[in-house]
Structure 1
Amino acid sequence: MRWLPFELHTHTPHSDGTHSLLEMCRAAAELGLDGIALTDHNTVSGLADAEAVSKQTGITIIPGMEWTTFYGHMLTLGAPYCEWRDLGPGDIHKGIARVHEQGGIVGIAHPYSFGSPICTGCHWDYTISDWNQIDYMEVWHETMPPMKNHNVPAFRQWTELLNEGYRISATAGRDWHRSNPADNLAAYTYIGLPDAPLPHSLTDIIAAIRQGQICLSMGPLLEISLTLGADQYGLGDEVPLVIREAHSVAELTVQITRSAQPERPWGAEEGTLIIVDSNLGELAKVPACGYDGLPIMLTTAGLGWLRVRLFGTIDGILTTMACTNAIYFANGQRDEE
């Protein structure tokens, strides 16, 4: 698996951004990013020179769009333009179906941002009747996202949906409108892709986001591996029922890799903690400083999912520095449905 940092929410002058696609991709390369998703508001016209810009800068460009409506903003990735203007507050699923039919995925953008009158439509007010149709949620929004109040309920909702059995990926999105070197740090969305020659195909990238092969981070990459018997599982994988019944104890290993960007947090400083979250609450808490990669032993009874957070200090504030998406556990009830 090759883990590449992406920015999945960006804008150019084709909507309300001020930097051209070329300027943004040059800035992305300086920030250590391997790719971006271009998600201009209600248009894909900015993608006209995407191929040339990608060749010039080495930045992978995912085609996307941000449906910008009175009832919420929805990101679409990997699909051509899909109509959104006929969607009322109760029929967002009609639009979602159009994106899925074109091979794309959908994600709710900044669901708990301020709405009217500060930002009409920025708060999510569409009715979701089937959360299985939502591919991902933007749980970290803007720069320094772990410290933004409107991301707290978004992260909480994602956790609650995991507890209810839904498999929804979590992403970070800077909502990038201009390239200013003085801006605060934005989070990386690390995407796990096949260890194959670059560039990766759009199909591989979309599949990885949908599956949840993702780590959100202010700097360090978290890679986790769960071992049960002779079998190993990574982010987005499901542990089959037959395996968990045969092995009640799992071994979880965590690898922390520092970002190449010197201004980014390391992740293994004194006081930083590796925390294993699950539907059962916190399963383990291990000091990251001096962690030598020895397995963290976990009992699998009752587990529906687990993820790993890195909790430490950024700019003097204790916060989540990085968080993986989930590893899932099959259960008998789901298998019968």
Structure 2
Amino acid sequence: MNWLPFELHTHTPHSDGIHTLHDMCRKAAELGLRGIALTDHNTTSGLADAARVTDETGICIVPGMEWTTFYGHMLTLGVPYCEWRDLGPKDILKGIDRVHRQGGVVGIAHPFSMGSPICTGCHWKYDIRDWHQIDYMEVWHETLPPLRNHNAPAFEQWTNLLNQGVRIAATAGRDWHHSSENSDPPAFTYLGIAGDDRAVPTEAVVEAIRSGRICVSMGPLVTLELRAGGQTYGIGDVVPQAAGESAELSIQVHTPFRTGGHQLLQGPSYTLIVESNLGELCRGTVTESESAFSQTISSEGLTWLRVRLHGLLGMALADVAFTNPLYFEAR
């Protein structure tokens, strides 16, 4: 599995962004990104130069769009265009079905951002009757997302949905409109891509999001493996009932890549917190020289577990990374 950093929420002058697609991809390459999703507001016209820009910059460009309505903003990835203008506050699932039938995924953008009149439709108001139809949520939004107040209720909602049995992924989205030397550092979404990472097809990106093979981070990649019943499972996998109650959990914090020259990690050590539908399972400490952690756990009663990495981000204590869940079949 190749874990590749992506930015999944971007804009160009084809909607309300400042930099061209080429300029953004050139900057993405400087940041160490492997790809972006182009999600202009209600248009896909910016994709016309995507193939040429990828050839010139090496950045994978995933086709997408941000449905921008009075009732909320939704990201559609992996499909060039799906109609959205006939969707009212109670029939968003009709539009989601159109995306799914074309092989794409949908994600709620910044669900707890300030809405009208400050930002028209930015606060999510659509009625979701079946949360299983939503592929992912943007729980970290904007630059320095762990320190943004509107991201805390998004993370909490994601946790509540997991506790209800909804297997929904979580991502970061810079909502990238412009760049400057004084910009705060963004978070990135690492995607677990199977196969050759030299040319990443859109289908592989979509499948990684759909499967929840995701780590969201301000820098370091956090991966986990669970050994149970003679098999090994990772982020996004489902552990079958037959795997038994005792399992060996292994977590690895990989060397962070530097984002545009920012030195993000300031502390000598960071705390790994393993949490689940049953609450916190265990915790440990990692450092640059001791970056692995293992623990035997009981899977009794578990439906999901994930890992958070907590410590100093600049001068503030905050989460600096988290994994998407590993799931367990219901008993």
Name the TM tier (shorter chain).
over 0.9
Q: Is the 8 A contact 2:10 2:176 kept in 1?
A: yes
1:121 maps to which residue? 121
Residue 328 of structure 1, CA deviation = 0.1
Instruction: Write the distance in 2 (CA, Å) between the matches of 1:240 and 1:295.
Output: 21
Instruction: Write the distance in 1 (CA, Å) between the matches of 2:115 and 2:197.
Output: 44
Partner amino acid for 1:227? R
Q: How many residues align?
A: 328
Residue 181 of structure 1, CA deviation = 2.3
Instruction: Write the distance in 2 (CA, Å) between the matches of 1:281 and 1:271.
Output: 23
Cα 1:305–1:264 change in 2 (3 A) is: farther
2:303 maps to which residue? 304
1:18 maps to which residue? 18
Residue 118 of structure 1, CA deviation = 0.9
Where do 1:124-139 residues align within 5 Å? Answer: 124-139=124-139
1:241 maps to which residue? 241
Cα deviations by residue, 1:19-67 (Å, 9 ceiling, x for unpaired): 0000000000011111000000000000000000001000000000000
Partner amino acid for 1:250? A
Partner amino acid for 1:123? H
Where do 1:253-268 residues align within 5 Å? Answer: 253-261=250-258, 263-266=262-265
Cα 1:292–1:98 change in 2 (3 A) is: closer
Instruction: Write the distance in 1 (CA, Å) between the matches of 2:21 and 2:136.
Output: 24
Instruction: Write the distance in 1 (CA, Å) between the matches of 2:50 and 2:291.
Output: 43
Where do 1:278-317 residues align within 5 Å? Answer: 278-289=276-287, 291=290, 293-317=292-316
Q: Is the 8 A contact 1:258 1:266 kept in 2?
A: no
1:170 maps to which residue? 170
Instruction: Write the distance in 2 (CA, Å) between the matches of 1:113 and 1:266.
Output: 27
Residue 205 of structure 1, CA deviation = 1.0
Instruction: Write the distance in 1 (CA, Å) between the matches of 2:207 and 2:291.
Output: 32
| Residue among 246, 249, 262 paired with 1:252 | 249
2:32 maps to which residue? 32
Residue 260 of structure 1, CA deviation = 2.7
Instruction: Write the distance in 2 (CA, Å) between the matches of 1:104 and 1:16.
Output: 24
Mean Cα deviation higher: 48-57 or 252-261 = 252-261
1:111 maps to which residue? 111
2:325 maps to which residue? 326
Residue 212 of structure 1, CA deviation = 0.6
TM-score of the pair, normalised by structure 2: 0.97
The SS at the match of 1:26 is helix
2:222 maps to which residue? 222
Residue 287 of structure 1, CA deviation = 1.0
Cα 1:165–1:119 change in 2 (3 A) is: same
Residue 294 of structure 1, CA deviation = 4.8
Partner amino acid for 2:315? G
1:335 maps to which residue? none
The SS at the match of 1:318 is strand
Cα deviations by residue, 1:109-135 (Å, 9 ceiling, x for unpaired): 000000111112000000000001000
Which runs of 5 or more structure 1 residues have no equivalent in the other structure?
333-337
1:158 maps to which residue? 158
Partner amino acid for 1:319? A
Residue 80 of structure 1, CA deviation = 2.1
| Residue among 271, 274, 280 paired with 1:273 | 271
Q: Is the 8 A contact 2:96 2:133 kept in 1?
A: yes
**Aligned Cα RMSD in Å?**
1.2
Residue 292 of structure 1, CA deviation = 5.6
Mean Cα deviation higher: 256-265 or 225-234 = 256-265
Cα deviations by residue, 1:255-276 (Å, 9 ceiling, x for unpaired): 1112231524348x43410000
Cα 1:197–1:275 change in 2 (3 A) is: closer
Partner amino acid for 2:308? R
Partner amino acid for 2:323? T
Instruction: Write the distance in 2 (CA, Å) between the matches of 1:154 and 1:141.
Output: 9
Q: Is the 8 A contact 1:114 1:122 kept in 2?
A: yes
Which runs of 5 or more structure 2 residues have no equivalent in the other structure?
none
Where do 1:134-149 residues align within 5 Å? Answer: 134-149=134-149
Identity between Structure 1 and Structure 2 (%): 59
Partner amino acid for 1:274? L
Matched, 1:194 2:191: no
